[in-house]
């Protein structure tokens, strides 16, 4: 066993280009002349790709994978194949295993093409299963273990959408790309630089694509407000604001009593409003109100609705303070920040709220100073005027 | 530096096959095997023009085969390996430009030919093999490890045997996908 593990370790290092020449030659001589060894090397190569896609490679291995392993087009094709396999595995429900079947050959009498026809596939399986002698046994087992299974499903089961959301949280665990607080994400510091997506590592980009695929497939197969919200939040976290809004609006429309959905739609509109504010607009196209004001008003309405439904929803409170700040309603924004800090003491979000509050208070104090200087003549000037009089 | 295709004559090639095995059919099998493994070896060294370097390697060995075959002791594959390393060292000194860029992940809404073909190829697997390979790809990290243990137990085999079996299924499916893509490109199904 140890020898096999050593072999595997050496093969992995070889595949990643991490061995010195004499060790490389030793492995190459074996792969050229030893059939089982060659097969093992091929297998480990595939598993290395799986590990890369699963994000389980160490940093040095990850680096070697990107720069050395993927250099050859053949390997890039294998990576594409593995991505397609992952997609396919996510898209199809877990099929039942039948009798032992060690043959690897393709089925000589396959059913006609079934691409894009999952319903038909599952129906035919259902009939086959129902007519099998195992059906009664399965039914009995469900009666015995059903309650346990229910607990398992509620407590431990993770759907594909949950997995995609877990990936989203992982992708944005170090820094966030938007100012607002999304209901499904933990705290991460704000990335102040533009082009955060471009700085994303290949590993995270692959994960992002996998998550997006899962969420799109989920919506295609069974559209529902939860999945609409999940995809909208995914796009918003990725700063694809215009892609996020329609999904979040869809979620709110379908589940108008969900405070979390209103909060995230408010966050998306807030981000959109800020973008509009920053974009230079030709004067002839300027609306009567200032740029972004209309979108920010909509954002505020959504956030107010979220807080009506749940006054303690912290993301909504955080976002409303941000929204009021963006609208220039500084005194109301200060009030919301204070309220937020009071409700979420000691958290990283709260520390960020405090920074906003400090900044607003400093800004207001500077404004007051300027106002005083402009509108209240200083004593010297006043005394001079008096003298003249 | 590297030329494409062979430049050796038919007689040299026949001599090469004769060195590999006195039975011509078995010699052809060995030749294919060596070719495949040399390509893999060069890919493993990070060479993105492995096929061309293998052609060059076989060319060189074929030219020398009359000198070698009398004295050489051992598996001819190892000799090919030595020549391939030499060709590779030459390539390293003159290698052209940068390797081709890594593929961008396929946009979900635009499923690539791999995905379309894969669906068809998976449908041609026996139900158990299909379940096995999809199950193998379905989970992540700990869930994957647990799932694989369960699969191995269910199949009544060791994890190691399961890994090999999945590898073989994957290989069959990948070859099917490659053929499918080639076929579709030939019939202009994608290229229009």
Q: What is the pLDDT of residues A3-34, one digit of tens each?
A: 666 788 999 999 999 999 999 999 999 999 99
Looking at CA atoms only, how far is residue B12 from chain A in angstroms? 22
Chain A positions in Cβ-Cβ contact with residue B151 (cut-off 8 Å): 97
Please list, in sequence order, all residues whose beta carbon lies within 8 angstroms of the beta carbon of residue B44, skipping any fewer than 6 positions away.
A14, A15, A17, A28
Lowest mean pLDDT among A263-272, A321-330, B42-51, B132-141: B132-141
Write down the pLDDT at residue A5.
65
Tell if the CB–CB gap between B134 and A76 is shorter than 8 Å: no
Kindly state the average pLDDT of the residues A281-308. 78
Rounded CA separation A7/A339 (Å): 61
Separation of alpha carbons A85 and A77, rounded Å: 12
The pair of three-digit structure tokens given for residue A202, joined into one six-digit string: 């290949």
Over residues A161-182, mean pLDDT:
89
Q: Which helix (H) or strand (E) holds A190?
A: strand A189-190
Give the separation between CA A364 and CA A29, rounded to whole angstroms: 75
How far is A213 from A314, CA to CA, in rounded Å? 30
Nearest to B175 by CA among A147, A78, A33: A78
Burial class (CB in 10 A: 0-12, 13-18, 19+), A366: exposed
A96-119 pLDDT per residue, tens: 444 444 444 444 333 333 323 333
Cα separation, A386 vs A373, whole angstroms: 19
Mean pLDDT of A242-255: 86
Tell me the pLDDT of chain B (192 aa) as tens digits: 445 555 677 888 889 999 999 998 999 999 999 999 999 999 999 888 899 999 999 999 999 998 888 888 889 999 999 999 999 999 988 866 555 544 444 343 344 666 778 888 988 888 888 888 888 877 665 666 777 777 778 778 888 888 888 899 999 999 998 888 888 777 665 443
Q: CB count, 10 Å around CB of A352? A: 19
Looking at the complex, report in whole angstroms how far the Cα of residue B161 sits from the nearest Cα belonging to chain A. Answer: 11
- Out of A14, A88, A110, closest to residue B44 by CB: A14
pLDDT tens by residue, A128-148: 444 444 444 445 544 554 555
CA A36 to chain centre: 42
> How many C-beta neighbours within 10 Å does residue A11 have?
23
Taking the C-alpha atoms of residue A30 and residue A28, their distance in angstroms, rounded to an integer, is: 5
Cross-strand bridge partners of residue A178: none
Using the beta-carbon criterion (under 8 Å), do B108 and A213 form an inter-chain contact?
yes
> pLDDT at position A306, please?
95
- How many Cβ atoms sit within 10 Å of the Cβ of residue A258? 19
The pLDDT of residue A117: 34
Tell me the pLDDT band of A180, cut-offs 50, 70 and 90.
very high
- Average pLDDT, integer, range A226-240: 90
B137 and A31 within 8 Å at the Cβ level: the answer is: no
Res. A246 pLDDT band, cuts 50 70 90: confident
Dist CA A298 CA A262 (whole Å): 11
Structure tokens at B134: 């999809």
What's residue A305's pLDDT?
94
Task: Report the distance separating Cα A104 and Cα B130, nearest Å.
Answer: 10
Q: How many Cβ pairs closer than 8 A exist between chain A and B?
A: 186
Shortest CB distance from B172 goes to which of A97, A104, A213?
A: A104
Residue in A7, A24, A71 to test binding to B, most B beta-carbons within 10 Å? A71
What is the model's pLDDT at position B4? Answer: 53
**For residue A90, what is the nearest residue in chain B, using CA coordinates?**
B138
CB nearest to B177's CB, from A42, A81, A114: A81
Residue whose entry in the numeric block shows the structure tokens 């509108």: A375
Element (H, E) at A286: none
Question: Does A328 score more than 80 pLDDT?
Answer: yes
């Amino acid at each position: 066993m140890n020898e096999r593990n050593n072999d595997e370790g050496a093969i992995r290092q070889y595949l990643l280009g991490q061995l010195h020449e004499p060790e490389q030659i030793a492995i190459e001589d074996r792969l050229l002349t030893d059939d089982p060894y060659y097969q093992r090397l091929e297998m480990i190569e595939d598993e290395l790709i799986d590990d890369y896609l699963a994000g389980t490679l160490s940093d040095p291995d990850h680096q070697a994978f990107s720069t050395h392993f993927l250099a050859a087009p053949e390997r890039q094709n294998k990576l594409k194949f593995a991505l397609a396999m992952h997609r396919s595995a996510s898209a199809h429900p877990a099929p039942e295993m039948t009798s032992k079947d060690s043959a690897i050959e393709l089925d000589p009498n396959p059913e006609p093409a079934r691409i894009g026809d999952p319903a038909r596939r599952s129906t035919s399986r259902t009939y086959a299963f129902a007519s099998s002698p195992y059906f009664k046994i399965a039914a009995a087992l469900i009666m015995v273990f059903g309650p346990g299974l229910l607990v398992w499903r509620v407590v431990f089961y993770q759907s594909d959408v949950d997995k995609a959301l877990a990936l989203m949280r992982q992708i944005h665990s170090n820094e966030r790309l938007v100012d607002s607080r999304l209901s499904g994400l933990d705290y991460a510091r704000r990335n102040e630089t533009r082009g955060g997506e471009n700085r994303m590592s290949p590993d995270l980009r692959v994960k992002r694509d996998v998550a997006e695929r899962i969420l799109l497939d989920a919506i295609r197969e069974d559209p529902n407000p939860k999945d609409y919200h999940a995809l909208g939040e995914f796009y918003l976290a990725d700063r694809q604001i215009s892609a996020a809004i329609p999904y979040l609006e869809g979620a709110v429309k379908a589940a108008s009593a969900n405070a979390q959905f209103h909060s995230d739609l408010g966050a998306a509109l807030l981000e959109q409003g800020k973008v509009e504010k920053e974009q230079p607009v030709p004067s002839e196209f300027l609306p009567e109100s200032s740029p972004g004001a209309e979108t920010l008003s909509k954002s505020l309405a959504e956030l107010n609705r979220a807080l009506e439904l749940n006054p303690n929803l912290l993301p909504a409170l955080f976002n409303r303070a941000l929204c009021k700040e963006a609208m220039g309603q500084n005194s109301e924004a200060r009030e919301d920040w204070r309220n937020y800090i009071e409700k979420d003491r000691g958290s990283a979000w709260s520390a960020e709220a405090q920074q906003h509050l400090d900044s607003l208070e400093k800004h207001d104090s500077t404004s007051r100073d300027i106002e005083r200087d402009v509108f209240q003549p200083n004593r010297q000037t006043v005394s001079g005027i008096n003298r003249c009089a | 530096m590297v030329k494409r295709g062979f430049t050796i004559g038919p007689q040299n090639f026949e001599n090469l096959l004769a060195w590999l095995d006195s039975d011509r059919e078995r010699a052809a099998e060995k030749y294919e095997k060596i070719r495949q493994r040399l390509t893999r070896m060069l890919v493993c060294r990070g060479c993105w023009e492995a096929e061309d370097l293998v052609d060059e390697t076989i060319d060189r060995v074929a030219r020398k085969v009359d000198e070698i075959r009398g004295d050489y002791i051992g598996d001819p594959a190892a000799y090919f390996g030595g020549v391939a390393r030499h060709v590779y060292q030459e390539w390293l000194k003159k290698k052209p430009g940068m390797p081709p860029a890594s593929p961008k992940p396929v946009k979900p809404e635009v499923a690539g030919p791999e995905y379309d073909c894969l669906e068809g190829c998976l449908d041609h697997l026996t139900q158990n093999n299909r379940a096995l390979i999809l199950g193998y790809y379905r989970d992540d990290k700990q869930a994957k490890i647990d799932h694989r243990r369960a699969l191995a137990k269910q199949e009544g085999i060791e994890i190691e045997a399961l890994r090999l079996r999945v590898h073989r299924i994957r290989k069959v499916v990948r070859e099917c996908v490659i053929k499918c893509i080639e076929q579709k490109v030939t019939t202009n199904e994608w290229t229009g």
